[in-house]
Amino acid sequence: MWQLYHFPLCPFSRKVRLALGEKGVPYDLIRENPWEGRDEFFALNPAGRTPVLRYVEKKLVLIDSQAICEYFEETVDKSPLILGTAANRAEIRRLTALFDESFFTDVTYPILQEKMKKRILYRAPPDSRLLRETMRLLHEHLDYIDWLIDNRRWLAGAQLSLADFAAAAQLSVIDYLGGVDWSGHDGAHGWYRVMKSRPSFRPLLADKMESLPPPRHYSDVNA
């Protein structure tokens, strides 16, 4: 059985959970708090980051959310997520990297720092100026999602792909922390509701982070 070392609000752990869910790969969840820096976890992943996927009996350890998704893309035929021609696949990987890197750096990481880490670890209030700037960048990214959805059926083209799950994973973390203002982003909002209603999303919507409850609308697939 696969074991996924994850953190509930790690967007990359969420991306992997969504991909495994779509592909019907069963796994056990193992909770890892990134700030604890457990020696046993560093022994598995010298970079000390979630997600890590392990299959003890096969002596296999997979690290990095994209490497993990590519592994299951290559080994499980069900529900291809990096699909189509080489050019289509390049577009899926471009957008996946955009959400994993730019969106994460601009939006998810600062929100996690301000709304989760400061609260849980330092019991300090968030920096409201920094949060405002982050919200401005979130709107720019949502504008881009609106544009994509205006021009395509799914983010990377005619078919549902890993790009949709990478984007939804980032947004779901911000949604949990109460931070997505969808006003003016009907296209992105409609797309996100569809993503949220997929069976692969259900475990994410049920997962709670202790002492940091999500807002009421978080698990409502119509919100």
Tell me which residues touch a second copy (CB under 8 A). 46-47, 60, 62-64, 66-68, 70-71, 74-75, 86-87, 89-91, 93-94, 97-98, 101-102, 144
At closest approach, how far in Å is the CB of 192 from a second copy? 20
At closest approach, how far in Å is the CB of 82 from a second copy? 9
Phi, psi (deg, nearest 5) at residue 208: -115, 145
Q: What span, in angstroms and rounded, lies between the C-alpha atoms of 7 and 29?
A: 9
Q: Which is nearer to a second copy, 93 or 185 (CB)?
A: 93
Q: Which is nearer to a second copy, 75 or 183 (CB)?
A: 75
Q: Which is nearer to a second copy, 71 or 218 (CB)?
A: 71
The strands making up 60-63's β-sheet, listed across from edge to edge, are 27-31, 2-6, 52-55, 60-63
Q: Which is nearer to a second copy, 86 or 206 (CB)?
A: 86
Q: What span, in angstroms and rounded, lies between the C-alpha atoms of 100 and 70?
A: 14
Q: Which is nearer to a second copy, 98 or 116 (CB)?
A: 98
Q: What span, in angstroms and rounded, lies between the C-alpha atoms of 92 and 155?
A: 8
At closest approach, how far in Å is the CB of 86 from a second copy? 5
Helix (H, G, I), strand (E, B) or coil at 155: coil
At closest approach, how far in Å is the CB of 98 from a second copy? 6
Nearest to 99 by CA among 87, 89, 109, 88: 109
